[in-house]
């Protein structure tokens, strides 16, 4: 082989390599999504949501990357749902009762139905959603729902009977405000991120919340007593939602992956509520705070007083042309079958 032929062959090789490089697919850039979360970065649910985001990135092989913005740094808690609708955030962790009247049928979950655990309440809200598919969620993609453990009373002074509660200013929102009113307290509507200061400064004298909040929101530092009023215990429905346009833009296979993760997170989140309740109990005991278990008769007194709230819900839904009676019966029957 002469020198001229050698150079020609070498040039041909380089030319073919350059063609191959030019035809190789470019590295696909991941779809980056923002996730607005109102809970503090250290709260167990913020950490669980961060774990969800990492799982999405892992199982989509990096095609979807989710960045969490905790502590209401992207949207305030009461504006988180609208923030997703308007595209301010792509995903959000929302409290449905923070936008009063927007989710009327789903208010059934917030009723004082005598909840036993967070896992029970979480399974119920998802069963309810699958049964009724309420149109009130049509402007977003619901990823999954959950609900906290028994919503009970925490106060700066002991409350062992109804008479002790009369007139006390209690922080609450949505249906829990009705619970406070029917029990004789004075409801004060304040978003959760502002509740600690309201207790510390004496603006409120107590709070209705799951016992996990005594640690998760550090309320054990500013209350002295917890009343286990399980007979009148309510819950609050939460939703993890996504901007509908962003969801619809995802490939079907990616949607399927995320939906599978969502199903797993229903159970994880429900169990987490119960784990956090246990941690809240230990945290308040460590502060030397009192935990008062109502007698059976006293608990029944409380439960009887909140029953009209259920009737009010049914009548309100009837006026709106919504099947509130069916939703309530479904929830009550479900709870009996799944204690």
For the stretch 203-255, pLDDT in tens is: 999 999 999 999 989 999 999 999 999 999 999 999 999 999 999 999 999 99
Alpha helix ranges (H) inside the chain: 3-23, 44-59, 80-85, 118-132, 162-165, 175-183, 192-200, 213-216, 244-248, 252-286, 296-319, 324-337
Q: Does domain 31-149+235-278 have CATH number 3.40.190.170?
A: yes
C-alpha–C-alpha distance, residues 111 and 13, integer Å:
75
Q: Dihedral of the CA atoms 196, 199, 205, 206 (nearest 10)?
A: 10
Backbone angles phi, psi at 230, to 5 degrees: -65, -30
Q: Is 182 helix (H, G, I), strand (E, B) or coil?
A: helix
| Integer CA distances (angstroms), 35 to 73, 95, 277, in order | 10, 15, 25
Mean pLDDT confidence for 285-304: 96
Mean pLDDT confidence for 258-264: 98
> How does pLDDT run across 143-160, given as a tens digit for each residue?
999 999 999 999 999 999
The per-residue pLDDT for 2 is: 52
By percentage, how much of the chain surpasses pLDDT 90?
85
More confident residue, 100 or 279: 279
Output the pTM of the full model.
0.84
Q: Dihedral of the CA atoms 243, 251, 45, 171 (nearest 10)?
A: 20
Sign of CA dihedral 30, 140, 118, 199: positive
Q: Which residues 6+ apart lie within 8 Å of 193 measured at CB?
A: 38, 71, 72, 77
- Take residue 242 and report the two structure tokens written for it: 């996504």
> How does pLDDT run across 2-56, given as a tens digit for each residue?
544 444 454 444 444 444 443 333 347 889 999 999 999 998 899 999 999 999 9
- By the 8 A CB rule, do 238 and 96 touch? yes
The per-residue pLDDT for 28 is: 75
pLDDT band at 175 (very low <50, low <70, confident <90, very high): confident
C-alpha–C-alpha distance, residues 202 and 184, integer Å:
19
Backbone angles phi, psi at 225, to 5 degrees: -150, 145
Question: How is 72-104 classified by DSSP, letter by letter?
Answer: TSSS-GGGHHHHHHTTS-SEEEEEGGGSTTSST
Does position 318 have pLDDT exceeding 50, yes or no?
yes
Q: Is 175 helix (H, G, I), strand (E, B) or coil?
A: helix
Give the burial string for 246-264 (b: 16+ CB within 10 Å, else e).
bbeebeeebeebbeebbee
The per-residue pLDDT for 13 is: 43
CATH 3.40.190.170 placement within the chain = 31-149+235-278, 152-234+283-305
- According to CATH, what is the number of the domain 152-234+283-305? 3.40.190.170
């Amino acid at each position: 082989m002469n020198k001229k032929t050698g150079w020609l062959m070498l040039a041909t090789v380089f030319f073919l390599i350059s063609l191959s490089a030019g035809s190789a697919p470019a590295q696909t850039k991941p779809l980056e999504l923002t996730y607005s979360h109102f809970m503090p970065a250290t709260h167990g649910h913020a950490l669980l949501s961060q774990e969800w985001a990492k799982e999405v990135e892992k199982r989509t092989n990096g095609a979807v990357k989710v960045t969490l913005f905790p502590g209401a740094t992207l949207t305030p808690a009461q504006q988180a749902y609208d923030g997703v609708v308007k595209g301010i955030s792509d995903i959000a962790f929302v409290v449905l009762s923070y936008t009063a009247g927007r989710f009327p049928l789903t208010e059934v979950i917030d009723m004082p139905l005598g909840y036993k655990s967070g896992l029970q309440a979480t399974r119920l809200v998802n069963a309810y959603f699958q049964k009724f598919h309420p149109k009130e969620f049509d402007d977003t993609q619901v990823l999954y729902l959950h609900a906290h453990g028994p919503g009970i009373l925490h106060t700066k002074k002991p409350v062992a009977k109804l008479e002790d509660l009369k007139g006390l200013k209690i922080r609450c929102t949505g249906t829990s405000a009705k619970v406070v009113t029917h029990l004789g307290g004075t409801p004060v509507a304040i978003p959760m991120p502002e509740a600690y200061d309201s207790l510390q400064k004496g603006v409120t004298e107590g709070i209705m919340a799951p016992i996990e909040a005594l640690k998760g929101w550090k309320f054990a530092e500013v209350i002295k007593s917890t009343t286990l009023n399980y007979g009148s215990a309510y819950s609050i429905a939460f939703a993890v939602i996504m901007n509908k346009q962003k969801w619809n833009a995802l490939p079907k296979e990616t949607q399927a992956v995320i939906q599978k993760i969502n199903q797993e997170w229903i159970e994880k989140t429900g169990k987490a509520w119960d784990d956090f309740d246990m941690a809240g109990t230990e945290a308040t005991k460590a502060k030397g705070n009192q935990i008062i278990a109502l007698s059976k008769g006293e608990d029944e007194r409380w439960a009887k007083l909140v029953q009209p709230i259920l009737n009010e819900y049914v009548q309100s839904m009837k006026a709106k042309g919504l099947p509130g009676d069916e939703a309530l019966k479904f929830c009550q029957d479900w709870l009996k079958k799944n204690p």
